[in-house]
């Protein structure tokens, strides 16, 4: 698979992961009554709106991460740094939403920033879990990119 296709797959995966998480958050916000009494159809609207914003936020985060931290592996990145980039993405997302004339308050700025920061930290945690599983799934040692000396140290003589 080409490098571009790998990055595109990663960006879509990140955006979908964020969309699912934000969809759940949208339903939770609807249940809390934060926006007043809601009918059942309003929960679907909240879920859809939050999922869409999560998808856009995840795609923006993925693009931003590629541009800023593009050459680093997941094990070279820290969760706090990922969370920081997520928070920056949340502020940018809120700016886009506010520019469109929707939800331009301090409360939504804080909400989007915290959601994006948490989503980014969760993204790195999930990526590390997936990376660990892919290494232990029986792949050849040579495919991992170790040198012969590193293989000898890892496996013994």
Residue 31: pLDDT band (50, 70, 90) is confident
Q: Over 80: is that where the pLDDT of 42 sits?
A: no
130 phi-psi bin (left φ>0, alpha ψ -120 to 50, beta other): alpha
Nearest to 60 by CA among 107, 119, 3: 119
Give the domain ranges of the chain.
3-155
> What's the DSSP call for residue 2?
-
Q: What is the C-alpha separation between 114 and 47, in angstroms, rounded?
A: 18
Q: What is the pLDDT of residues 93-130, one digit of tens each?
A: 888 877 877 666 777 788 888 989 999 888 888 877 87
Residue 20: pLDDT band (50, 70, 90) is very high
94 phi-psi bin (left φ>0, alpha ψ -120 to 50, beta other): alpha
102 phi-psi bin (left φ>0, alpha ψ -120 to 50, beta other): beta
Nearest to 24 by CA among 4, 8, 43, 3: 43
Q: What is the C-alpha separation between 134 and 139, in angstroms, rounded?
A: 7
Residue 51: pLDDT band (50, 70, 90) is very high
pTM of the model: 0.72
Task: Tell me which of 91 and 35 has the higher pLDDT.
Answer: 91
């Amino acid at each position: 698979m080409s490098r571009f296709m790998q990055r595109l797959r990663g960006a879509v995966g990140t955006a979908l992961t964020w969309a699912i998480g934000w969809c759940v958050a949208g339903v939770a916000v609807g249940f809390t009554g934060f926006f007043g009494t809601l009918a059942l159809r309003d929960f679907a609207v909240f879920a859809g709106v939050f999922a869409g914003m999560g998808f856009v936020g995840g795609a923006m985060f993925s693009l931003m991460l590629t541009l800023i931290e593009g050459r680093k592996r997941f094990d070279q990145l820290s969760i706090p740094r990922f969370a920081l980039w997520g928070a920056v993405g949340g502020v940018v997302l809120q700016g886009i939403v506010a520019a469109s004339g929707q939800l331009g308050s301090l409360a939504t700025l804080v909400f989007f920033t915290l959601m994006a920061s948490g989503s980014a930290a969760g993204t790195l945690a999930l990526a590390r879990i997936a990376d660990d599983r892919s290494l232990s799934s029986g792949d050849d040692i040579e495919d991992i990119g170790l040198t012969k000396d590193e293989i000898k140290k890892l496996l013994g003589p």
